[in-house]
Structure 1
Amino acid sequence: MAVPLAGFAAGAVVALLVGVFGRVHDPTLTGTTTFGFRTVIDLKVVLSVVIGVLAVLQLVGALWIYGRLGVRAPSWAGTAHRVSGMVTVVLILVVAYNCLWGLGLEVGTFASGAPVPTRTVVHGLLGCLVIGAAVVKVVAVRSRRAPGWFLPLAGGLLFTLIVAVVLTSAVWYIGANGWPGSSGYG
């Protein structure tokens, strides 16, 4: 139990530190990047959709590799799963950086006195938890002494949080504004 407890403790500390940074940092778009997208929001929406798709592929890949789909996985499936997992984590970090640096973590009321929408609060808190859950998953993947249930639990937690963050960000945004750059946008 020491490895899972240490993993969850490390993840909780990281999530808390990310949240504290998001609250105390003065948000600014200076230092963010759009990577060619029109705005930081456009970048976040598109990359969040990609992250959501990759998370689903990660789930399917894990089920395939561990024989839960009823079809034997080919030898390359493990490598593809690891590479797509690393790409997913890198994209999560890009989105998280641009989100925390450019927008911060809003709770309560804005500086104007207007209340922060519940969706925004939930999304921000879930985003912090995603970073913590990624730490837990890395601990689970890297540990050779962890119990067998730890890796699927860590992966399931990360998957669930990613889906929740994508639903409260990109899916909500696309529903409200359309796809970034589309005619219905803005």
Structure 2
Amino acid sequence: MAIPLAAFAAGAVVALLVGVFGKVHDATLAGTTTLGFRTVIGMKVVLSVAIGVLAVFQLIGALWIYGKLGRTAPSWLGTAHRTSGAIAVLLIVVVAYHCLWALGLESGTLPDGEPVSTRTVVHGLLGCAVIGALVVKVVAVRSRRAPGWFLPVAGGLLFSVLIGAVLTSAVWYLSAKGWPASGGYG
């Protein structure tokens, strides 16, 4: 139990530190990129959709690899699972950086006196939890001495908070404003 407890404690500390940084940091677009999209938000929406798709692939791949789908997994699935997981982590880091750097962790009221929406607050907290859960999942993947239940629990935790973050950001944005434009100016 020492490894899971240490991993969950480390993940909680990291999530808390990310939240504190997001709260005290003066949000700025300086130091961000759009990767060819018109806005940072547009870029984050597209990357978040990709992360959501990769998360679903990770879940299905893990279930298949562990024999929970009734068929033997193909030999290429392990490599595809590890590769898509690494890509998802890279994209999560890019999106998290841009969220924290450009927007910070919003709560309370905006400069114009309007209250920050509940969706925005929940999304910010879920985003911090994603980074903490990512720490837990990395420990679970790398540990050879952890109990057998630890990896699926860590993966399920990461999947749950990640999907919550995607639903409160990209899915909300797409339903409210449609697909973000790429390239061009204005």
TM range (shorter): over 0.9
Spell out, residue by residue over 1:7-62, the C-alpha distance to the aligned partner (whole angstroms, 9 max, x if none): 00110011001000000000000001111111100000000000000000000000
**1: CA distance between counterparts of 2:53 and 2:39?**
22
**2: CA distance between counterparts of 1:129 and 1:65?**
26
Q: Structure 1 segments of 4 or more deviating over 3 A? A: none
Structure 2 equivalent of residue 52 of structure 1: 52
Structure 1 equivalent of residue 118 of structure 2: 118
- Give the C-alpha shift of residue 179 in structure 1: 0.8
Spell out, residue by residue over 1:122-158, the C-alpha distance to the aligned partner (whole angstroms, 9 max, x if none): 0000000000000000000000110000000000000
**1: CA distance between counterparts of 2:6 and 2:144?**
14
**1: CA distance between counterparts of 2:3 and 2:78?**
23
**2: CA distance between counterparts of 1:179 and 1:36?**
14
Contact 2:133/2:157 (<8 A) preserved: yes
Q: Normalized against structure 1, the TM-score is what?
A: 0.96
Q: What stretches of structure 1 of length at least 5 have no aligned partner?
A: none
* Percent pairwise identity: 77
The amino acid across from 2:96 in the alignment is A
State the number of aligned residues.
Answer: 183
Spell out, residue by residue over 1:67-114, the C-alpha distance to the aligned partner (whole angstroms, 9 max, x if none): 011110122211110110010010000000001000000011122221
Matches of residues 61-80 of structure 1 in structure 2 within 5 Å? 61-80=61-80
Structure 2 equivalent of residue 97 of structure 1: 97
- Alignment root-mean-square deviation, CA: 1.2
**1: CA distance between counterparts of 2:77 and 2:181?**
35
Structure 1 equivalent of residue 178 of structure 2: 178
Q: Normalized against structure 2, the TM-score is what?
A: 0.96
